[in-house]
Amino acid sequence: MPLWFNGPNIGKIAYFCKSYNGRKTMGIIPDKYIGEISRRAGRHFRKTGKTGQEAPPVNGWLALSPLLLFLCLYLVSSVIAADFYKVPISAAFLIASAYALLITRGKSTEEKISVFSQGAGNRNILLMIWIFVLAGAFAGTAKDIGAIDAAVNFTLSILPGKFLYAGLFLASCFISMAIGTSVGTIVALVPMAAGIASQTGTDIAFMTAIVAGGAFFGDNLSFISDTTIAATRTQGCTMKDKFRVNIGIVAPAAIIASIIYIVYGLSVDTSVAAGAVNGVRLVPYLLVIGLALVGINVATVLAIGIAANALIGFCSGAFSWVDWLASVGSGIGSMGELIIVTMLAGGMLEVIRSNGGLDFIISGLTKRISGRRGAEFSIAALVSIANFCTANNTIAIITTGGIARDITSKFGLDPRKTASILDTFSCFIQGLIPYGAQILMASGLSGASSISIVGNMYYPVLMGVCAVLAIFFRLPRKYSR
């Protein structure tokens, strides 16, 4: 008797046996097993009371409650403590994850943990963890050879103090547009931004948010961004056409953000004497940015950067072999909580999905759509909530893209604008959730709490506002039939 005929699987095929016992089974199950299956199914039912039918689904709001519990635990506890650095985000996720498992019905403890583990070990989660590990090793070794200090001094020497904020923001926009990844931009620029903040006395969370915010500009618009590819493919439009619509929606947000940073720069004294620039120690950062610009995978870029740090460190006498290993280990160790949080978030969100939380949202938002404006707002709400529940803007677009295409066809929307709505709102939400990969990466590299970074994210908020106004006022006119 095959092993899969044992335990809970017997209950699942009990009804099959009841219907087909004594009949031919078309070769699906050999006849010689039918009698034994029936006997085992009967014993399974008498022992467990389970017939093999699926347990009633968890109520939609109950399925989503772990996410709400996490937000309440983290935010309320931080407010009570009057310090967002005192409350570990990992502890809030652990409690919310345990609660998510407790409310799951119709599964054994082993099955619940299996669902959680599938989310925590998802290939996208593991890829992100590898990037976190490499980013930590690169940042640790770069700091120890003096590369961060060199990059900071170089930036301070070429950017006027009054335009430092705006300059960093525009640099982040340009690099993210060129390389198509917000994570790669954050890895390249956040350590430098944190170093500038330390030298100029500026709030680290604010400086980190400038870079992180600009990183979402390219994530939203770049032709090689995962979100752009997902949005255009699901809606059946070209990247060129989507870009034309999208730039019309978010360009005002980028301009307003730049003006805000210029005004902030004029109102404070950010000037500081730049130290001597060591050109050799600038090489790792220039190498990372240059390789990213030509389209090399971010993990490969970081690995090459680590090797460059090692070579410069050995040749300059900055550290020995053992010191280098210690530097790598220290850098990876600094990402420890970030890695744990990423896995806990992935596992909890998979449990929410398994319990029907995402399906509940989708069905609820597509029931009462009226008019083209309402259809566009429904698409925006769908991808926003999906992103809120998955913490991955690309996955959110893929999850809701098919439904968005159906709505587009039914209400006569322009697919190019639908693709822009999907991409813009997913990036908007991704830039404001403290458990998203980009914010967690920025937090790990700068040492600022994720919630304090989110509180300074101007561009994503402006991007969301402009997108809402574009739907409400039917803009751009050419693409809003």
pLDDT at 313: 94
Q: Where are the domains of the chain?
A: 3-48, 60-481
Both tokens assigned to 69: 């519990």
Burial letters 152-167, b for 16+ CB under 10 A, else e: bbbbbeebeebbbbbb
Res. 10: pLDDT tops 80:
no
Model confidence, pTM: 0.77
pLDDT at 81: 83
* Greater model confidence, 391 or 253: 253
Nearest to 312 by CA among 153, 133, 185, 138: 138
pLDDT at 275: 64
Q: How many helices (H) and strands (E) does the chain have?
A: 24, 0
Write out pLDDT tens, residues 433-481: 999 989 999 999 999 999 999 999 999 999 999 999 999 999 999 888 7
pLDDT at 480: 84
Q: What is the mean pLDDT of the chain?
A: 84
pLDDT at 161: 76
pLDDT at 52: 44
- Sign of the alpha-carbon torsion through 390, 396, 402, 404: positive
The C-alpha angle with vertex 344 and arms to 340 and 349, in degrees rounded to 5, equals 150
Burial letters 22-44, b for 16+ CB under 10 A, else e: eeeeeeebeeeebeebbebbeeb
Write out pLDDT tens, residues 130-166: 988 998 899 899 889 988 788 877 877 777 778 899 9
Q: How confident is the model at residue 367 (pLDDT cuts 50, 70, 90)?
A: confident
